[in-house]
Amino acid sequence: MTETVKKCEILSPAGSAEQLVAAVNNGCDSVYLGLESFNARMKAPNFTRDNISEWVDYCHMFGVKVYITLNTSLKNDEFAAAAEMLKVIYRSGADGVIVTDLALMRMASQLPKPFEVVASTQLNVYNRSGAEFVREYGATSVVCARESNLSDIEEIAATGIKTECFIHGATCVCQSGQCLFSAMVGGNSGNRGLCAQPCRKLYRTGDSDEWRYLLSARDLCGLNIAEKLRNAGVSTYKIEGRNRRAEYAGITSRVYRKLFDNRFRYEREDERALAEIYNRDMAVLNYLSGGNANIISDRCQNHCGVAVGEVSNGKIKTSEYLTKGDGFKIFDNGREVCGAVALKSGTGMIDADFGQSVKNGMEVRRTTSVKLCDNVLNARRRLPVKLRFHAKANSRAVICAECNGAEVQLESEFIVQEALQTPTSSEEITSQLQKTGNSYYTITDIIVETDNIFIAKSQINGLRREILDKLTAKLIERYNSALGRNLPIDAECTLPAVKKAPVVLKLAVICYAKSDLADCREADILIYKPSVLDRTAFETADNYGAYVDLPSNTSGRIYDILKDLHSRIVCHNIGQVQWARELQLDYIAGSGLNIYNDYIAEVFCDAKAFVYSLELTLSEISRFANRSGLIFADGKITLMKFVHCPFKVAMNCKCDNCRADSALSYRDEQGNEFQIMRRKESRCTFELINGKKLSAAARLKRPDGYLVDYDKAVVRHYKALNNGIDDGYKELRPYTKGRLFDKVN
């Protein structure tokens, strides 16, 4: 194994047992998987608490690590069950856990080591400060946010934390952990593993009649950036795709294994294999510039395969060799028309069953290759074994096996007979010992020591099976013993304490313009959310005693301003909380921190205020022990946050002819409208805003802590409500109640 390979851990998806086996057999170093609850891919087949130990043992036999996900947002009444699941994961012998909830992360860090605690990409760690934050809360490893660039990753790795990056697979168009779209439009939360993928639907801009996949991100292919990531300090390379086929896990594991073994050299056939097994207009994204200018593919929202020919006279015309049963998609001017299946093998004109009527010249793209799938699924990872067989007449036979430094020995229960006629030869014994069948081993060397004996084939076969079973147990035992998992953990992994706090009657108001700040005198907490974040914006906020609402993804330039001005801030990212603590700034734990339970609220106990997750109902909020938080009750709902530029996608403009000052909205097929809002500092970020504002005024009748966007009538109403007065306010514009009265799944 080369030095390069040792530094590059391939972490493959295992959304099912079939995926896990394919990944292991094709060269991965580790797998990540989920159990029946609290994992971010609840639609995958997954594993269970009853069978997980068996699969952990299977992986450990090959020296493959297992990381188990516990990476969803947890409600208060779920936290204890998630903590119990953490113990199940630990006792299974898994090598580590991937966690989103910060309180659960701290619990996991208390478990006896070695046990890796991996900060999930959902925590949106994209800079040094975020890495320092999760390290303080017990993370030993961090999955970089998918919108991180190379310089970000270098800073993260420089903290000394084990650094993990996505190298291949689907990417989220939204900033990691900042998406509320699925939860708000249908009640299925992506933060809880049930994303309905509204980003993969067709949209059109404004009054345009052209439908495009304006929010559908391309798949990432990292073949030509792997070495740059290694040089930046990345040690673990994560392949996305627990919801995909087993063949996908196998091919991606195989290709990246080959890439690292060949010191980052790859061939055209490797890239083609990745594209053919699954690609969504695959491209190199992230990590380079941070702008993600080419992130969107507006022509296809799922697997688009590789081009193999065209439609001709109702057949597939191709120079490629096609296999009977191969699957295809047919495209017309870049738009998907239907599917097709090859009815025979060969080249030239191939009969196919088309899903609907097709025309000459339409593009044919293969999306399933029978040959490629069979090849990867039939792969077997074998362990090299040396056998020594010793048998003397009138004694017990002894067989020894050695594999990767592990040695076992077995003595037969039977007594070896002396040969009365023709003795059993060494060649005959060797022949039987080599028959490993469907086991995990290949025999590389056999030493046979015998005299004049007769031994039945069935006896030899039985000894071979027994010694290999014993070797398997030894390999697993040796791996697991290094983990030291026999320690009691109950006393060392208890639920964290939470503090009770009563409702604080206060009104926080978000102002988008300087004039609103001057006009808003009723607010107890004033928040300034300008479209441009420069020094002047911070000075303006300071003049009014307001907190500056920071975008979730901010540059070091903002840190420099904060260091100089010591402004108050609203944090939507844990790295920003780290800034606030380091610079001793007053801060509010904003909605981007997704405070889902009392235990997370306790993490931000030094904040001047915190905002309950927008995915919680009023009923769920009422069950918090800490009721001093803010309920977002009226205003713009941010569904997604972007680091790519939607104006470049929709208007085909560039930075030198920027049109981001123009109005831009997306409309879906149901007629729902969504606005794009830009936030600019040294780099631009964007927010997708729900077309209907949030308003809960019709049903909120009790004083509480409320957060609202600035509107004179709205502010007056909530101020009156907190003073015990019903002023009769009614929202006359179209509105939504969000998830305040309907819980998310």
Nearest to 97, CA basis, from 63, 140, 130, 42: 140
How much is the pLDDT for 486?
57
The three-state secondary structure class of 106 is helix
532/19 Cα distance (integer angstroms): 46
579/563 Cα distance (integer angstroms): 9
Classify strands 363-368 and 203-205 as parallel, antiparallel or unpaired.
unpaired
Residue 693 tokens, joined:
């504002």
Residue 337 tokens, joined:
């028309």
- 519-530: per-residue pLDDT in tens? 998 899 999 999
- 93 and 57 in contact (C-beta within 8 Å)? yes
| Interior angle at CA 604, CA 598 and CA 606, nearest 5 | 125
How much is the pLDDT for 40?
84
Task: Please enumerate in sequence order all residues whose Cβ is within 8 A of that of 12, keeping only pairs 6 or more positions apart, or say none.
Answer: 19, 23, 28, 30, 31, 32, 239, 249, 252, 253
- 594 and 567 in contact (C-beta within 8 Å)? no
385 beta partners:
443
Q: Which strands make up the sheet holding 327-332, listed edge to edge?
A: 346-350, 315-322, 306-312, 363-368, 327-332, 335-342, 352-354
State the angle between helix axes of 535-544 and 556-565 in degrees (0 to 180), rounded to the nearest 10. Answer: 40
How much is the pLDDT for 606?
97
DSSP letters along 208-274, please?
A: ----B-TT-BPEEE-TTTHHHHHHHT--EEEEP-TTS-HHHHHHHHHHHHHHHHTTT---HHHHHHH
Whether domain 506-635+694-736 has CATH 3.30.70: no
How much is the pLDDT for 166?
95
Rg (CA), the chain: 30
709/726 Cα distance (integer angstroms): 20
Here the contacts of 621-625 (C-beta below 8 Å, separation 24 or greater) are 623/76, 623/77, 624/76, 624/597, 624/598, 625/498, 625/499, 625/500, 625/501, 625/598
The three-state secondary structure class of 719 is helix
Residue 465 tokens, joined:
């099976």
324/345 Cα distance (integer angstroms): 5
How much is the pLDDT for 488?
56
- pTM over cut 0.85: yes
Residue ranges per structural domain of the chain = 3-172+217-264, 306-377, 384-481, 506-635+694-736
How much is the pLDDT for 291?
52
Which of 726-737 are b and which e, b meaning 16 or more Cβ less than 10 Å from the residue's Cβ?
eeebebeeebbb
Whether the bond between 423 and the residue before it is cis, its omega within 30 degrees of 0, is no
Q: Which amino acid is at 299?
A: R
Positions of the chain with pLDDT lower than 50, given as ranges = 1-6, 290, 491
How much is the pLDDT for 497?
87
Nearest to 266, CA basis, from 249, 284, 288: 284
CATH topology of domain 3-172+217-264: TIM Barrel (3.20.20)
Q: Which amino acid is at 175?
A: Q
